[in-house]
A and B are shown apart, each in its own frame.
Chain A
């Protein structure tokens, strides 16, 4: 069975190749590259990745313009049909701006661009993206962002926590995120947005392979489905 994973590229994306390499290395299938202006996605996708970078130069707000691009209408529709969608870093910002995930990502509280490996606690090890982790395990993924400070109102935060939709939490403060939230799931569990970069942690040569588990989990979920 061939897995059809797509990586979306916007003008200003810069982790799209890393993401495509990670998918291919873990899955053994080349990722399909999709340009932002395409109004339609390739058919029968099993997985959609929205990569990191600085889409549209972060104009207006990070991810704001990308989230209104033609391809995102197709991504929103695909997410509604249950296709797994992973947004990393700028991809997370695009997902919140598109309304697929709640909340918003603001300037880091300490104002610095933060670029380093950070420990994360796996809060939900049952989602299709995280089933290969152990709940409560501490994993290390790199972060590289200026605007990763997760904000949502208290009611939304309580709901996310109550529904097990916080996938990852920073094990120590990184950017001022409310309740240390590093990654959130949508209500259906098929959309995950996260600031840390799993695609940059898929083999020891990159400094760690914890991120590999996320992609293995996703493919495992597809095999089981």
Chain B
């Protein structure tokens, strides 16, 4: 089973990387960009039947740092 974990900074946590990307976009002449936040996408290929609790634990124990980050799990249909 393919699973995507999106890790993003919590609202209110300053994102220096996002700011730099924002600045670079402006440098390229793209106007109208209000804000940029940089996150992380982690793709997992896990055994069928892995339960949600285990997935949550993976996120909380390693994939996200709960002090500064949130995560969202998306399960992809296997083709």
Contacts and interface: CB of A to CB of B under 8 A. Distances in A.
- Most chain A beta-carbon contacts within 10 A, residue among B13, B19, B20, B65: B65
B62 A60 contact: yes
A176 B68 contact: no
Contacts of B68: 104, 106, 151
Interface string A50-73: 000000000011001000100000
Q: How large is the interface on B (under 10, 10 to 19, 20 to 34, 35 or more residues)?
A: 10 to 19
Interface in A86-110: 96-97, 102-104, 106-110
Interface of B: 13-14, 16-17, 19-20, 61-63, 65, 67-68
B16 A108 contact: yes
Contacts of B19: 111
8 contacts: A68-B61, A68-B62, A96-B67, A102-B67, A107-B17, A110-B16, A151-B67, A151-B68
A61 B65 contact: yes
Contacts of A106: 13-14, 16, 68
A157 B1 CA distance: 41
A111 B20 CA distance: 8
A60 B68 CA distance: 14
B42 to A, nearest CB: 9
Interface residues of A, number: 19
B65 A97 contact: yes
A149 interface: yes
A145 to B, nearest CB: 13
Contacts of B61: 68
Contacts of A103: 67
A151 B14 CA distance: 9
Interface string A21-41: 000000000000000000000
A152 interface: yes
Given A60-B62, A64-B62, A68-B62, A176 B16 contact: yes
Contact of A109 (B16, B62, B63, B65): B16
B62 A151 contact: no
